[in-house]
Chains A and B, each alone.
Chain A
Amino acid sequence: MQVDFNLNGQPVSADVEPRTTLADCVRDHFGQTGTHLACEHGVCGACTVLVNGEAVRSCLLLAVQVQDDKVVTIEGLSGDELTPLQAAFRKHHALQCGFCTPGFITTAHALLSHEPEADEDRIRDVLSGNLCRCSGYIPIIEAVLEARSSYRDPGSK
């Protein structure tokens, strides 16, 4: 079955079985392997992508469901230089094995894009939907708190 959507700013097309998840589609059909699979049942958040600007679990979406939608993965949020959010993760040592990291960065980006004034409680609340086994979360929260300023000033994302 064919599905047409926008992936990281580019119009794309894939011929997939209906049962192919969006996660598997971006990873296998489009080679964007930054989106990771850690549970495949919608609990861990490692597979988080943006669909029409909203953070969603790509293992709980079928590829065919994003017809005409705008999908952004961690690759679409990355460039030659680290973004302020990514630099903050590095500065605060908010990753160790790195496997959950794309999911956290994508989720934090969505949150701060919509709510640049989010306070620590709100950040913790939202990030409680992403599992990390290495960091104990505290450095991640610190990184996201630091990154807020770059979302408040629209020029510096």
Chain B
Amino acid sequence: MKPPIFEYASPSTVAEAVSLLASRNGNAKVISGGQSLMPMLAFRLAAPELLVDLKYLKDLGAIRIGEDGVRLGAKVRWCDIESDARLAVGHPLLAEAIKHVAHYQIRNRGTVGGSVAHADPSAEMPGIAMTCDARMTIVGSAGTRVEAAADFFTGPLQTSLEPDEILTEVHLPAWPVTRRWAFLEFARRKGDFAMAGVALHYDLDSGGRITDAHVGAIGVADRPIRLTEVEAVLNGSQMSDKLIAAASAKARQSIDPPSDIHAPGAYRAALVATLLRRGLKKSAA
């Protein structure tokens, strides 16, 4: 499983990197951690002419936490998130979700930007981006743009990134300390892609009712999704076993997961309902 032939460049600035990507008319690819791209090259599922390594690009590896939320540079690695103690309070949902990503060696290399740009429908980071309504900063030949997650993920392993564009930052909105949340996924083995996963957060208004519910699911569609119908069930109500049951039933009805060799669609739908039920219970505890 040797990769096909390609050229390699390691520019020093984002502008240079963009320029290199633009020069190859869609036949160049960004490499950073390489944990998703390298297996594809090994299986010859991708055959770019040129790899543009972000190795020397400065400033893309920082985790910035401020009043406007958590800004993750595209080169932030899973081990960086794991070791950043601020996130336990700064964004506990992110911290919890990332615990489930892959394995030790991969976590030393795999990046936020890489995962989001790769857009695997079962991956945790795209799931968090979608659930939290993250905003992506993207730099290309046409300049810099910012895009909401809902517009960014366009299909299975597909995003709105143009061939000459690089994702430079994922910005998660501000996280109030009082926010309720849960992340649950079920995988065959630790570190595997989830068969399904649920990420959720909501706030409570002065009457103790749920407000601004965000409920996301991974592994059940061709991209990470928000369960908007479930959010509608939750918003305005007080948490109760009855509400949880209703939300869970709504989740099961509102999705139509594909079947594959690992699980039939019906299983995944039931799994989401189960994980949602357990997650909501956990969030209220």
Tell me, yes or no, whether A and B come into direct contact in the complex with CB atoms closer than 8 A. Answer: yes
- B34 contacts A129, C-beta separation under 8 Å: no
Residues of chain A with a CB closer than 8 A to B1's CB: 40-41
Chain A residues 52-81 with CB under 8 Å of chain B are 54-57, 59-62, 64-65, 67
- A126–B4 alpha-carbon span in the complex (Å): 32
- B38 contacts A42, C-beta separation under 8 Å: yes
Residues on B facing A (Cβ under 8 Å): 1-8, 10, 31, 34-35, 38-39, 41-43, 51, 53, 55, 79, 102-106, 108-109, 189-191
- Of A19, A45, A48, A57, the residue contacting B5 (CB under 8 A) is A19
- B39 contacts A56, C-beta separation under 8 Å: no
Closest to B5 in A: A19
| Known pairs A41-B1, A60-B109, A125-B190; A18 contacts B6 (CB<8 A) | yes
Secondary structure of the A side of the interface? mixed
Nearest CB in chain A: distance from B56 CB, A: 9
Other A-B pairs beyond A126-B103, A129-B104, 18, CB < 8 Å: A1-B8, A18-B6, A19-B3, A19-B4, A40-B42, A42-B39, A45-B103, A45-B105, A55-B105, A57-B106, A62-B8, A62-B51, A64-B53, A65-B53, A67-B10, A126-B104, A129-B102, A129-B191
- A57–B4 alpha-carbon span in the complex (Å): 19
Nearest CB in chain A: distance from B5 CB, A: 6
Is the C-beta of A15 less than 8 angstroms from some C-beta in chain B?
no
Closest to B33 in A: A60
Q: Annotate A29-51 by CB proximity to B: 1 below 8 A, 0 otherwise.
A: 00000000000111001001000
- A41 contacts B102, C-beta separation under 8 Å: no
- A-B CB pair tally, cutoff 8 Å: 86
> Can you report 14 A-B residue pairs in the complex whose CB atoms are below 8 A from each other?
A21-B3, A21-B38, A41-B1, A42-B35, A54-B108, A55-B108, A57-B35, A57-B105, A57-B109, A59-B42, A62-B31, A64-B53, A65-B55, A129-B105
Is the C-beta of A107 less than 8 angstroms from some C-beta in chain B?
yes
- A128–B99 alpha-carbon span in the complex (Å): 14
| Known pairs A54-B108, A57-B106, A128-B190; A17 contacts B5 (CB<8 A) | yes
- A45–B108 alpha-carbon span in the complex (Å): 13
- B4 contacts A56, C-beta separation under 8 Å: no
- A17–B2 alpha-carbon span in the complex (Å): 11
- A19–B190 alpha-carbon span in the complex (Å): 31
Chain A interface, number of residues (Cβ within 8 angstroms): 30
Nearest CB in chain B: distance from A69 CB, A: 9
Nearest CB in chain A: distance from B262 CB, A: 15
Q: Annotate A82-111 by CB proximity to B: 1 below 8 A, 0 otherwise.
A: 000000000000000000000000010011
Residues of chain B with a CB closer than 8 A to A126's CB: 103-104
Residues of chain B with a CB closer than 8 A to A129's CB: 102-106, 191
- Of A24, A60, A62, A65, the residue contacting B35 (CB under 8 A) is A60
The winner among B79, B102, B105, B108 for most chain A CB atoms within 10 A is B105
- A45–B53 alpha-carbon span in the complex (Å): 23
